[in-house]
Amino acid sequence: MALTTLRPSSEGDAAPQSKMLLVVAAALVDPNNHVLIARRPAGKNLAGLWEFPGGKVDVGETPEAALVRELREELDIEVCESCLAPFTFASHTYEQFHLLMPLYLCRKWDGDIVAREGQELAWVRASRLGKYPMPPADIPLVPMLRDLLG
């Protein structure tokens, strides 16, 4: 979902700022407190960096519904919205847009995780997430997960 945010200018007129992009992500946590991360495939923006699974929220879609859809599309798993626990969010300005990304914790899903988009997957202890190069918006989420999961 792309939104244009407005801020009053010095004359009191509304002046457009950078486009805001709403994306949603999940910290899938296994019984051993490992977190699933995915490596962005070649050809995509920020290719080679590791991120939490998720994606863009479409117009008319709630963040939770978008995350359920994205996890089905990317990882071939089914997640109930009630199993998504809001945890924290990232807010980061990139050159072309501002990204707002809620992060949900999820410990329960149906199905075996399959990388359906050619991405590499890794189950990582929260204490080791910082060893994986990530997009700038994901980096501030790591200490919070480390504090929660040890």
- 99 pLDDT above the threshold of 80: yes
Q: What is the pLDDT of residue 118?
A: 86
Q: What is the pLDDT of residue 10?
A: 44
Q: Which two tokens stand for residue 97?
A: 């847009």
Both ends of the chain: CA-CA distance in Å? Answer: 34
Tell me the mean pLDDT in the region 74-93. Answer: 97
Residue type, 12: G
* Separation CA 45–CA 30 (nearest Å): 28
Residue 52 is assigned to a ligand binding site: yes
* Separation CA 65–CA 70 (nearest Å): 9
CB 84 within 8 A of CB 52: no
Q: Is 99 helix (H, G, I), strand (E, B) or coil?
A: strand
* Separation CA 124–CA 97 (nearest Å): 29
Alpha helices (H) in 61-121, listed in sequence order: 63-75
The chain-wide mean pLDDT, for the chain, equals: 90
Q: Which domains does the chain have, with CATH numbers?
A: 20-149 (3.90.79.10)
Q: Which two tokens stand for residue 12?
A: 């009191």
Residue with the bigger pLDDT between 47 and 68: it is 68
CB 70 within 8 A of CB 59: no
Q: What is the pLDDT of residue 17?
A: 63
pLDDT > 90 in the chain, percent: 81
Nearest Cα to Cα of residue 104 among 29, 15, 12, 11: 29
Residue with the bigger pLDDT between 63 and 4: it is 63
CB 131 within 8 A of CB 48: no
| Lowest mean pLDDT, pick from 18-22, 76-80, 142-146 | 18-22
Residue 51 is assigned to a ligand binding site: yes
Residue 73 is assigned to a ligand binding site: no
Residue 16 is assigned to a ligand binding site: no
Q: What is the pLDDT of residue 23?
A: 97
Residue with the bigger pLDDT between 94 and 9: it is 94
Q: What tens digit of pLDDT does each residue of 6-54 get? A: 344 344 444 456 799 999 999 999 999 999 999 998 888 888 999 999 9
